[in-house]
Chain A
Amino acid sequence: MSETALTKQETRTPSTTLERAKQTPVYTPVVDIRENEREVLLQADMPGVDETSVQIDLEGRELTIRGTYRPTAPEGYTAVYQEYARGDYERVFTLGDVIDRDGIQAVMKHGVLHLTLPKAEEAQPKRIAVSAG
């Protein structure tokens, strides 16, 4: 069993393992991951993505989050200044054994994906009551 409940996997480039039909750049969303006794909480910045264009896949121990780019260039305007580029988002995480895979919840709000990954019942700390004999 891995020491942490959730470890990031960066050893592969998503775009090379997955055949992509369209030529859109793929960005790695930045994330915060917090942990407490009961659950692991993940937040990922994916501006321009809403609940209909985000996809979360769990395959074996691999949790993949994907967000689909939707072109937003307004019609009739010329781009005059650019600091950010738009594209798809993708990032893969490896789940530890402590995560209850059936209890994962996801909420998308203001371009941020909030994932709640509850820990399995048996992984949660327990106190054993001692009764007087």
Chain B
Amino acid sequence: MFEYAPAPESRDVVDIKPSYGLFVNGEFVDGSGSAFKTINPASEEKLAEIAAASAADVDLAVQAARKAFTTWSAMPGAERAKYLFRIARIIQERARELAVLESLDNGKPIRESRDVDLPLVAAHFFYYAGWADKLQYAGYGTRPLGVAGQVIPWNFPLLMLAWKIAPALACGNTVVLKPAETTPLTALLFAEICQQADLPPGVVNIVTGAGETGAAVVNHPDVDKVAFTGSTEVGRLIARSVAGTGKKVTLELGGKAANIVYEDAALDQAVEGIVNGIFFNQGHVCCAGSRLLVQESIAGELLASLKRRLGTLRMGDPLDKNTDIGAINSAAQLAKIRELSDAGEQEGAERWSPACAIPAQGFWFPPTIFTGVAQSHRIAREEIFGPVLSVLTFRTPAEAVEKANNTPFGLSAGVWTEKASLMLWTADRLRAGVIWSNTFNRFDPTSPFGGYKESGYGREGGRHGLEAYLDARDGSL
């Protein structure tokens, strides 16, 4: 392995304030809940004090959004579009600042926040900006729903914000968004961007806090639409809580994706795809390829190659441009990854990690592979949401599909083969919303994303993503 000199990205580019309020009706205001701190998971240093929104604060935010809805929804689409284009441009202008802030608050490598998250965030706003004055051609009607209550996770904080806010605003809705408790900073910087863009007050409101704040957003009687990305467990609670209401709901939940490698696959490419599939963003990815299904005939060769490749991954300072694997987002998530990995060993799977120095401060988990995994093992069934790969083998394509579909989840899957007909045959039978063949973890604003089964419902991205924010009822049956 080559020696690399550290190449840290400067954190001077971003100004973190000592404390942040809630963003309601175009202004930062105090929260009435007890403030909490957000930390850098790579060093455990405190970054800022964050206001917590109580139910009363959420109510004020919903009222602001309701008031703004009248004018925002009546505004010509072309004008709404220009606000979104403006926001997209400011995001590009301040991309470096946002990327550094994201890496500081989340722990993800700067290489990813800079090259993946931020370009996708800007692209998402550009994409939906263009829809705002073209809704009549999309096939879902042109009537917005009203106030959207949106709750997003900590794994791609700003990207998930973009996935939620851009289509909502393009369709003429206003939003109250709750970022994750551990990663509120880029959402709060986004609030400043809304101010810079002269977005009318109340169109975007950001309320920070933990689960209770999220519940207040979801359960507010004047919210017309609930959009949630997060765990299947919380998704279930939300689905239950909106029962009997008129609220429209979309849920993007957990996954346990199979990544199928057939014996004729291009092995070097497959190894890169497997690494990208499970170690991208420390495995904090709902669509991560966390179950490797490899054809028995090539299992030995593939695993040797994969282990060799893992030996070259660099774990450490997220702001170092050489870093491949950053910090685990929180102590709680680290505990969960450890618990499930320990269960993997206890249930009889064999654990392997490359030799890898673990920093003294912060939350870290080395890239880990489990072999000898049975379908009944917890590490083959439960979402770990960390850099942990479970390896299973198969003999026939039918067995691969059977094992791949043997999960209550259905978000994504991967297929590696050089034979086009086998690829399409497999893709056809996989019960999942996104199939990456001979690639993995690709995202684009034009491409619909979302799951089957317990991975949730609704699509984000593409023309399909508009449906979640429009009242498509055609008045008849």
* Same assembly: no
> Interface residues, chain B, CB within 8 Å of chain A?
none
